[in-house]
Chains A and B, each alone.
Chain A
Amino acid sequence: MESKGLKIGDKIFNSRLFTGTGKFSSSGLMEQALLASGSELVTVALKRVDAQNEDDDILKHLGHPQFNLLPNTSGVRTAKEAVFAAQMAREALETNWLKLEIHPDPKYLLPDPIETLKAAEELVKLGFIVLPYVHADPVLCKRLEEVGVAAVMPLGSPIGSNKGLRAKDFLEIIIAQSKVPVVVDAGIGAPSHAAEAMEMGADALLVNTAIAVAGDPVRMAIAFKMAVDAGRMAFEARLAKPSGLAVASSPLTAFLED
């Protein structure tokens, strides 16, 4: 059976691998890697691009029809700053899609849950398709869902850490109870992590550092694409769960059969 596309907002994505554009050694290499990844949603930091400039090096390399741009608000510290930056991004990049990132802590880049919820509520009202980057906090994800975000993007482990799914137990709860797509955002360091997240039932992943700083980013992008596809297919095929239970020779429920 062919895997169905993923619907977020008004768009359907055939690729469940979303990608970032930072940390590559050149924009040309970024372009090749992102094309190889099959990604259809690519996040771009408002701070890194000069949308007024037709020759902007990053935007120039993202001018392919399959790439939908997802501007992000990296750098803002408050809801108020995020809302302003989002409006600038919408105007400059001509899209109402937004990856809402509010990390007032520039060291670990961890998201501020309070400001994120406030900004999400306002941005939804302003007509944005909001995808917020958040901690793997199930309650926060439900609260964001209630204010109308298009998806939630909980982190797998600290951003850029390549540590994989350290927040696994909480991600499972989020996946189990979410009514909007769940995109695992940060900390995915290897294709095996990607496959694991997809097998768990994540709807999509966002990968940047692990591809951008790999020895060969293009091949690594392909490896992630395959892992995401394999993980998703395994999830849809209903994975046989490893069982820790032995079957007793004298079943405790045998009396019920008498």
Chain B
Amino acid sequence: MFKELFDTYDWDEVKASIYAKTEGEVVEALNKTHRNPEDFKALISPAALPFLEEMSQLSHALTLKRFGNTMQMYVPLYLSNECQNICNYCGFSFDNHIKRKTLTDDEILKEVAAIKAWGYEHVLLVTGEANQTVGVPYLKHAVQLIREHFANISIEVQPLEENEYQELAEEGLNAVLVYQETYHKDNYKAHHPKGKKSNFYYRLETPDRLGKAGVHKIGLGVLLGLEDWRVDSFFTALHLDYLEKTYWQTKYAVSFPRLRPAEGVLLPKMELRDKELAQLICAYRLFNGEIELSISTRENEKFRNNIIKLGITSISAGSKTNPGGYAVEPESLEQFAISDERTPAEIATMLKQNGYEPVWKDWDLALMTTRHDH
């Protein structure tokens, strides 16, 4: 389990070693063909910032080689904003007095129709953590309800048990996104004072459970800005490296949620500037030529138009972060503010203008026999 490796590291020592990286170490990392976690540290360090153009060129070339001139399209479908957790940065936090909503079957299908009308064949289901209302039975039912409409179904929900992941995979679930939020063990408790989510190690070991359950793809990430983003990103890269070696049949993806203002939440402890986010994305690509890197509508139009050439392989468009946001109840409260309001068609046009083919379908339930055994 990753815990054993993780516990051999000390946050402050890692931090000191990142900030002590020199120009020489950055150049050494740039000149390698295979880069290790120490190289990743150099590439995310302040010493690498003057090399951003070189990093971008390398990142672009590596991404082109692996992914070609294509960009995966994705969209979230929020099923519920009910949540028993207190997270001091989230709009859906238990202590925020907002109207709670969980979609019914009819409502889910209305949302599905709206998403399908845009051309999406993949969908990402999102919920808060409320085991009475949106536990495994609800999720399983939702997957069964929508699977005939999509070639690929992902979820971003509370961490589950290995057998629960297996159960969902058998119904056609392909990918699970689970963000650690922060690898700072002590401050994690401060950010998550109440609810099941307050158990740091249970969350940390979630990707291990996913790997054992045989889920096809695991998405990792931290909430950038909650703590020092460099240290958090190093631990993410370390986690990724461990997972790839341990669960070698699994595909991996990394997302870059930057802490954004939402209703009733705190401001970033350490702001991640645009330049640094670009540096971070390039560093991941240089560290791992095959990883999927995705960018959401948290980022604004100008940044997204340009960041796609620096290593990104999937992009969301038209996202709503409120349950019912597409068709049922478009005006309800969002989890976080969207910064790029363009429609999927507009994003597709922008991609084509930049020489990318938007990919709406890149999976097929026919490739997963497990669910046909029943």
> Residues of A with Cβ closer than 8 Å to B?
22-27, 46-50, 73, 75-78, 80-81, 84-85, 88-89, 104-108, 160-162, 209, 212-213
Contacts and interface: CB of A to CB of B under 8 A. Distances in A.
Given A213-B64, A213-B65, A88 B366 contact: yes
Interface of B: 64-70, 121, 151, 216, 244, 248-251, 290, 352, 355-357, 359, 361-364, 366-369, 372
A81 B367 contact: yes
A252 to B, nearest CB: 47
Given A25-B68, A46-B367, A88-B364, 15 more contacts: A23-B69, A23-B70, A25-B70, A26-B352, A26-B357, A46-B364, A47-B361, A47-B363, A48-B359, A49-B361, A50-B361, A81-B369, A85-B364, A89-B366, A107-B251
A213 B361 contact: no
Nearest to A87: B366
Contacts of A50: 121, 151, 361
B243 to A, nearest CB: 11
Given A81-B369, A84-B369, A75 B363 contact: yes
A77 B217 CA distance: 13
Contacts of B251: 106-107
Nearest to B64: A213
Given A22-B68, A23-B70, A50-B121, A75 B352 contact: no
Contact of B248 (A49, A76, A88, A107): A107
Nearest to B61: A213
27 contacts: A23-B70, A24-B69, A24-B70, A24-B357, A25-B69, A25-B356, A26-B352, A46-B366, A47-B151, A47-B364, A48-B359, A75-B363, A75-B364, A76-B367, A77-B249, A80-B369, A81-B369, A84-B369, A85-B366, A85-B367, A88-B364, A104-B249, A105-B249, A106-B251, A106-B290, A107-B244, A213-B65
B65 A160 contact: yes
Contacts of B250: 106
A76 B357 CA distance: 24
Contact of B362 (A25, A47, A160): A47
Contacts of B290: 106-108
A26 B352 CA distance: 8
Contact of A23 (B67, B363, B369): B67
A22 B69 CA distance: 9
B237 to A, nearest CB: 15
B364 A84 contact: no
- Shortest beta-carbon contacts, A-B, top 8: A23-B68, A25-B69, A88-B366, A106-B251, A75-B367, A81-B369, A104-B249, A84-B369
A169 B363 CA distance: 36
Contact of B68 (A73, A108, A162, A213): A213
B63 to A, nearest CB: 10
Nearest to A46: B364
Contacts of B151: 47, 50
A81 B67 CA distance: 24
A85 B370 CA distance: 12
A213 B184 CA distance: 41
A85 B250 CA distance: 19
Contact of A48 (B66, B361, B368, B369): B361
B207 to A, nearest CB: 15
A22 B66 CA distance: 11
Contacts of B363: 47, 75
A162 B61 CA distance: 13
Contact of A84 (B64, B65, B366): B366
Contacts of B69: 23-26, 212-213
A25 B121 contact: no
A92 to B, nearest CB: 8
A162 B151 CA distance: 31
A197 B59 CA distance: 30
A106 B367 CA distance: 14
Contact of B367 (A73, A105, A212): A73
Contact of B66 (A26, A85, A160): A160
B363 to A, nearest CB: 5
Nearest to A208: B68
B121 to A, nearest CB: 7
A105 B244 CA distance: 10
Contacts of A213: 64-65, 68-69
